Structure 1
């Protein structure tokens, strides 16, 4: 029997904060440490208590492990998840435990949530430390962080449970974190569209045409069909960040949802909180994660007023992002044709006149690439089998390639048919695997660790994990034979048929 929506509801006390341990060292200035805090209406004494406790735990654990930063502390009533986003700038997630609901959260998934927030923030706003150095009062940093993180958490109220964006966690006034029902997902990866040889040739021809539209400038492109990645010329980190943003705010599914652009948390107490720390939410703050702020123009290019006016007073200034690998500032162009989303990144340094230069680039794309875009769209549409195209009958699975940061998983609709006991078993199994991977990392093991773990769930389902040569397979088998040999045979068949034997034991 499938898992009902009520089962996934999580309402335990949760705090999420960002603080700078270098600040607020003098008595009476402790509030200077706080750069972001959720919930914003929590009394400052409580906020300072949580941050003080976190600093104490960080200092204590460094006594035993000076090189490795503290990641997770399990207390009797709470779990504390740590991420040192930048030197001495910490993101902390404190989650209250609920014994009745067993293993609700996987700590590695929660830490990856913090990492994704920071990675996306870097892409749009740059380093938090650099913002603090430019404006030592912290006003700009707080304004940007409060707007950005609350928009990141803000929910699509009109979306169904199966169609929610992967990063929308606010439902009403409740914060829902990635839980055991998400155990067959992997944050920080992209899902690729498998295409044939002829389609691949057409895509490569389109990529070359896009390069020629920019002249001598070194540009990058990323192409998605539906929410799946088709092509990229970016590094894995930049591909992941830009794909995550596209799936959140740019793809046709998001644009057609008609969601509200108003962020719940930035009102009321949150605004007051920023002001009391020296921030001013009335300042012009770019909010790239606001819902409903992108729309498709008549020429096929997506437009937004998030970035305000250009230097010449031109409304709808083209967005800029910062690449993770090179730290280069790039203009962001987005063109859409039905289910195809094309993202082009052009160096800011190569476009001296923003308004004129951007118009020229767009015109070149329309004149030279539009026919190829339509052709690629038609080819991919003919071979598209819908969201269940990659579903393998009888299996519920997750494949992860850590080197390329690519994953493939069973469609969400298929995963929801699994029983709660099956998902809890898989979540516990992944906790065990996370622990083994963390130990291997701390031990600086040079060789790729191979690992196989199998768990029998309370409902007699099998939860299976195999790791080899940087690739990971997680699988749930329900209504399977009771013998371990049967479960192992099922994995072998899956590996040989769909993974080129990557996870076979031979």
Structure 2
């Protein structure tokens, strides 16, 4: 890895490449679709991608049934993700730099999965872009600014913040998830708001009203309170992607410069820093044709609330035809394989997302202004009353705190998680957090070994400070917990987990 550290202080490399491309001598650069930092000299880029390709080939040769996920070199960790066949995303992070930074490999992999899911939602698959324009210039022109804008949300605004692993990328300081951020949180899941039965019925009624606003057109909707999910009619995968984007850019905390989200995206919202890199940084050229149609949906501070309650942005601009509909945000739904218009309406802490098939607008079945007017006329009063009702019953940041417990519950089937508030997690001793980090690494490893079958699992670790950290995995659900009462025996700790499971998880984690 010496070639990676030749005269520069970079601690992070992030690349996307296609194994099917660049196999002819002299054309190796053709395989690179994205590389960060973009101004790194080409020999270093080829060194990273070449080594990564070699590691992938080696792993497939000797362990073809296992995914190539992470390989430890002397100074660096290579985190791999294959989101599409032969399209690889690789993050190379220097280990234990200066401050002895520690991170969970699965959390870094979660970043790669997240950025790909977001890219897929806005631009479609990388493979489809390559088939549309085989030279790869279209794909690169979309990937470079998109991932640069994504990484900009990790820029550190204050050196006093001690929540993440600090990594220098050129002159920029990034915060990547470390053990403090990832032991009791789960990237790529949504956090649901718990509702009373009568409120849930009112939400269901509102969803039906929103659907009727599109007349006879089939549409989808999502409702959020603060940065918690209230309702969705989307598939789990589409829900996660849209939820992630909404919390980053659309919810009331994301739009307010004075507020910060309390969910797993807490340290990433509200950033006003300039994006790392730029479209002009592309190593493959700066032609106007390549950049003309580039849409940058992850740019900061581009959404504003209008007088009618709908959020507006100029990110999508106008096509050369000047059609007003071309300025309306669109996203791609994986479940239905269709492109839809994204309409966002906000009242105080409540954000409603309505998704209309673009084909319905193109065919003249309905117009976007007509749908907006219907929402204002038919649903605005319901929205006001619902926001007030939920606000009265909402317990704030500590609503999901359970006294005596620091916990994380994950439902992998529904892609939903619930955890102790970050402020409560921060009260854990460093020894407890490090033990939790080790525990989660062990669970991640065990899960990767038994991918073909679900396996019940329980792991208990006694931390150096005598705290108990416990993991239980069963039927697609996971529970992680830290108990810092030093006098507890293992029996006391497992009994406490059982009581928690009975009361808050419907007994899902009771072990026979």
Normalising to structure 1: TM-score of the pair? 0.90
State how far apart, in whole Å, the 1-side matches of 2:364 and 2:465 are: 61
Q: Which residue of 1 aligns with 2:476?
A: 470
Deviations 1:54-81 (A, max 9, x none): 1111111111233443112122222111
Quote the offset at 1:260 in angstroms: 6.5
State how far apart, in whole Å, the 2-side matches of 1:474 and 1:195 are: 24
Q: Which residue of 1 aligns with 2:294?
A: 285
State how far apart, in whole Å, the 1-side matches of 2:355 and 2:408 are: 31
How many correspondences in the alignment?
A: 490
Q: For the structure 1 residues 350 and 313, does the alpha-carbon distance in structure 2 shift closer, same or farther, using more than 3 Å as the test?
A: closer
State how far apart, in whole Å, the 2-side matches of 1:238 and 1:487 are: 38
Q: Which residue of 2 aligns with 1:76?
A: 74
State how far apart, in whole Å, the 1-side matches of 2:491 and 2:33 are: 53
Equivalent of 2:277 in 240, 249, 266: 266
2:153–2:271 Cα contact (<8 Å) kept: no
State how far apart, in whole Å, the 2-side matches of 1:487 and 1:262 are: 45
Q: Which residue of 2 aligns with 1:255?
A: 255
1:155–1:170 Cα contact (<8 Å) kept: no
1:274–1:280 Cα contact (<8 Å) kept: no
Answer with 485-494 or 318-327: which moved more: 485-494
Aligned ranges 1:81-160 → 2 under 5 Å: 81-98=79-96, 104-155=102-153
Quote the offset at 1:282 in angstroms: 4.2
Q: For the structure 1 residues 170 and 358, does the alpha-carbon distance in structure 2 shift closer, same or farther, using more than 3 Å as the test?
A: farther
Q: For the structure 1 residues 236 and 315, does the alpha-carbon distance in structure 2 shift closer, same or farther, using more than 3 Å as the test?
A: closer
State how far apart, in whole Å, the 2-side matches of 1:272 and 1:28 are: 23
Q: For the structure 1 residues 77 and 414, does the alpha-carbon distance in structure 2 shift closer, same or farther, using more than 3 Å as the test?
A: same
Deviations 1:373-405 (A, max 9, x none): 112112111111101011111111100011111
State how far apart, in whole Å, the 2-side matches of 1:207 and 1:176 are: 38
Deviations 1:423-448 (A, max 9, x none): 1110100011111111111xx22xx3
State how far apart, in whole Å, the 2-side matches of 1:156 and 1:286 are: 20
Q: Is 1:368 the equivalent of 2:366?
A: no
Q: Which residue of 1 aligns with 2:331?
A: 321
State how far apart, in whole Å, the 2-side matches of 1:164 and 1:299 are: 40
Deviations 1:289-309 (A, max 9, x none): 001000100000000001001
Q: Structure 1 unaligned segments of length 5 or more: list them.
A: 1-10
Quote the offset at 1:275 in angstroms: 3.8
Answer with 133-142 or 334-343: which moved more: 133-142
Quote the offset at 1:328 in angstroms: 0.7
Q: Which residue of 2 aligns with 1:238?
A: 238
SS at match of 1:307: coil
2:12–2:92 Cα contact (<8 Å) kept: yes
Q: CA RMSD in A?
A: 2.8
Quote the offset at 1:105 in angstroms: 1.8
Quote the offset at 1:139 in angstroms: 1.7
Equivalent of 2:439 in 425, 429, 433: 429
2:154–2:175 Cα contact (<8 Å) kept: no
State how far apart, in whole Å, the 1-side matches of 2:81 and 2:29 are: 20
Q: Structure 2 unaligned segments of length 5 or more: list them.
A: 1-8, 259-269
Answer with 66-75 or 456-465: which moved more: 66-75
Quote the offset at 1:176 in angstroms: 2.3
State how far apart, in whole Å, the 1-side matches of 2:159 and 2:257 are: 14
Q: For the structure 1 residues 46 and 277, does the alpha-carbon distance in structure 2 shift closer, same or farther, using more than 3 Å as the test?
A: farther
Q: For the structure 1 residues 279 and 479, does the alpha-carbon distance in structure 2 shift closer, same or farther, using more than 3 Å as the test?
A: farther
Q: Which residue of 2 aligns with 1:485?
A: 491
State how far apart, in whole Å, the 2-side matches of 1:138 and 1:309 are: 25
Structure with bigger RCO (C-alpha 8 Å, 6+ apart): 1
2:407–2:419 Cα contact (<8 Å) kept: yes
State how far apart, in whole Å, the 2-side matches of 1:153 and 1:412 are: 22
Quote the offset at 1:493 in angstroms: 1.9
State how far apart, in whole Å, the 2-side matches of 1:75 and 1:271 are: 33
Q: For the structure 1 residues 382 and 316, does the alpha-carbon distance in structure 2 shift closer, same or farther, using more than 3 Å as the test?
A: farther
Normalising to structure 2: TM-score of the pair? 0.89
